[in-house]
Chains A and B, each alone.
Chain A
Amino acid sequence: MFRNFIKVTFRNLLKYKTFSAVNLLGLSVGLGCFLLIGLWIKDETSYDKFHEFGPRIYRVMENQTHSNGEIATQAEVPGLLGEALKNEVPELVYVSSMDWWTNTLISYDNQSVKEEGRYVGEDFLKMFSFPLLKGNKESALSRPNTIVISQRLANKLFPGAEPMGKVLRVANFSNFEVTGVMADIPSNTVFKFDFLLPYKEFIQRNAWAQQWNNNGLHTYVMLNENADIQSVNQKIKNIVRQHSDQDNVDLFLQPLTDIYLKTDFKNGVYQGGGRMEYVRLFGIIGLLVLLLACINFMNLSTARATVRAREVGVKKVVGAGKRALIFQFNAEALLFCLLAAAMAVLAIEVVLPAFNQFTGKTIRLLYDDPGAWFTLSGIVLLTSLLAGTYPAFVLSAFRPVAVLKGQFDKTQRGVLLRKLLVVSQFGVAIFMVVSMLVVQQQLNYLQNKTLGYERERLLFVTMNHEIQSKYATFSSDLKNVPGVQAVSASHSPLTGFINASGNFAWAGKNPEDDRMFVYENVAPDYLSTIGAPLLEGRDFSTEHPGDSANFIVNELAVTEMGLKAPVVGQRLKGWGKEGQIIGVVKDFHFTSLKEKLQPLILTMNSPYVWTASVRIDSRNTAEVLSNIENVCKKYSPVYPFEYEFADIAYDELYKSESIISRLASLFAILAVFISCLGLFGLATFTAERRVKEIGVRKVLGATAGNIVGLLSQDYLKLVLTGILLAAPLAWWATRQWLSDFPYRIELSWWVFALAGLLVMGISFLTISFQSVKAALANPVRSLRSE
């Protein structure tokens, strides 16, 4: 019997080509989107799940409660915390601290490469599943001056040779012996490194890290099998308070597998947000797109029920029961879904390289994973049930007497449901289009907002310790490069000032007040170089040697401190110095606009600047860059020249939003496409069904315009209803999304009008294709055929 179903399905598929194409295309696009989003979600939620002890590993987090009641949550903790935890909390099997170090130079013989590495504790390799291919994980990092490198780095530095025992020079200042080679770390982990160094070295070299009052290191712990997380949290909560004079710090543990997805803490606890929000959002989008495709299938199958009616009638007469027919139609839907799934997999295979490049992932189709096949089969089965069950019940319910006489159920029930489904389809489509436009608008707003400094032609040049130690002569050499207008430097790049402190003091400060100020070390002429205007006073200058003890503050800092004019000349103390405020700079944004503007204090401390800011003019950029590189090479011949334009660095801040926005646009377009595909199918069917009516109307004098109007208006009314119903929902949802941004666009009515017009226009064109064809057909032919 199943063979019979398959035959009938394929013959129908070939006989009714438009219907089949619309259904197959819709279902394959829907399934394709769903599967692609599914793969993306699978990847997003797989971060750090591969560690054998993963469920027992946590990151130590710190909540700092400020005097204004705000709680700031951070992963940066004191450098001595790891050791203290290990000694004081018996439930912890392993503890490893880790620094934040990024790229540095690794040299062997005459070869130097820049790689990312970390200082980690001895336990690191024992708790995390980063297996060693060579060396012993128990002892690889137990001696000073040892290094563990990745297989990739080993191949790069010692192609075909034995890496173990070789001595590498790190950052051109110290030698390390290779004591282990680890397998390359997978992409789905929050850790990115190609070499590991012993943490003890870090502590010895950095005096600040030996103080409990300084934060900046990450600490990971692994609990024993029987440990109760609540009780461990209770035990570690006050450890920083016990070791320091900080009385506003509480510690807690964050599961390792939450680190990637759950980053958005408010008032000390995770309250949704972070990448998890996007995982949920795209999960919903995937489901909606698939649902749209299923609605197409349902609508077209029930609309075409009359075509199948005789088959149903005859089969019932010759003995088919209702159950057998329901089974048959569901089997048909399943076959359609299988075909669509095959097309979807093929399409995914084609788009995956571009998708990976775009999202920065390494997703692949898991042909060798039985679990993936099982999941795919489940999705196909569920889709076929979702799409096929309703039509199966409608079709199998035909009474043979009625259908064999050519009389059909004239009730409006099926029609009403079909209308409802079209309304929901376009509701979803308009919702997604509005969201797409709003996300796009917000992103444009963020990327183009005036930041308070001049982004164009501003260059950030990374300085290594060789350049940094000779900053004065380096900057003066740079200023002599033709095309360079100004040179200064800061500790962090202008797009991410990250250091903050609550230890500043000024006249009239309440001793209880521990509000945080972002502070940044800069070099002379910093504000004039970046183009941030001063409201009062002057910039740091080499002409004023006393400036190294002075400060420049932003407007917000003045407000926060409650300073009265004139601000310049007032005393300020903090970060180990005491001096006067020499300038007030107009507020400018020094982090992403996803964060509120912070009060800022600038100090001039040249030895601690690592990023040169270089203002260039509009002459030949390539030549200017080449000359800047020559200057860098003069001071540091080994290190590669690294630079970034400020506007590009700024756009990088919104990389994930940009990806999300483009993905949302893609899926919104596909949602409209699928909905219109369904509309096209329905319009085709209506035009076929009303061919006699159209003929009669034309004979009676109707113009082609009348006919197009007649055939289009019913569907356009449905589309309009969908738009009107979904618009308030879209308004609410986009407003919610925007409310997370401190700087945001105002929702305007025209976005909704534009989305509505766009969808209405596309729908009209879709319907017109069929209705114009029907309107222009020769009425004689249709009447004769009757």
Chain B
Amino acid sequence: MKPRTALLLLLPALAINLVAFLAPMANLASYAFHGVSPSGAILPGLSLGTWAALFDDSFYAELILTSVLTSLGVTALTLLLAYPLALFVHRAGPRTKNLLMVACLSPLLISAVVRTYGWLVILGDHGVIYSVMHALGVEHPPKMVFNQTGVIIGLVQILMPYMILSLLAGFGRLDPAFEEAAASLGAPPWTVLRRVVLPLSLPGILLGFLLVFVLTVSSFITPKLLGGGRVFLLATEIYDQAIVTLNWPLAAALSLVTLAIFGVTLGLYGRLARAMEQA
């Protein structure tokens, strides 16, 4: 194909991206550098007031740190739960494999909102888990909803399909013959896992980590509902600032911070992925 034809074919996508992505992003960035009146009106004239407030108030530093740490925790937990599952699916015969894939991905057919409400019912004060623990004689079962625990449980379950998909996509180099070879050379099962299976599945782990981390940081409905307004994360705070407090500049500034976090994550991912390819 001639370069000109190629350019021509790229134009529609380029136009859509310009109008629907780049322009709003520019707009968002400009909000962050304007002041705001108590009524929510954006004031004319550039100002760094929002950023000053953001850096002054330790609440925001803490918010960003909590968000990143919670997301890392959720991602790690998802990985821990999804890894054995993905390994099992990867090793299954072709027919079983298809069936297991459908089973793993079917939660995606139900909206995250519905699933979150499901968790509210299960984890709630008169939910299944509470009742069972109570019946077993636990006087005061731990609260599992409207706090960090609830948010983490909900997010892990909702994001697991993405992790499983990424892991499976990255398991390409994992041939059972490698495990057999390692065993024949005298490696017990745990050593096989540590020295052969884990290193060979690193591309999948990395991909899953990136995807689930980004999805956790930007997830909003689950933390909002399961956090019950008591768990403060970047996405929920942006929503509150934009919709409740009507402080669009602050919401925009926090959005840019989130974007920066994604940028750093992607950069790290790229570097690690490249290092792995050369290894």
Are A and B genuine complex partners? no
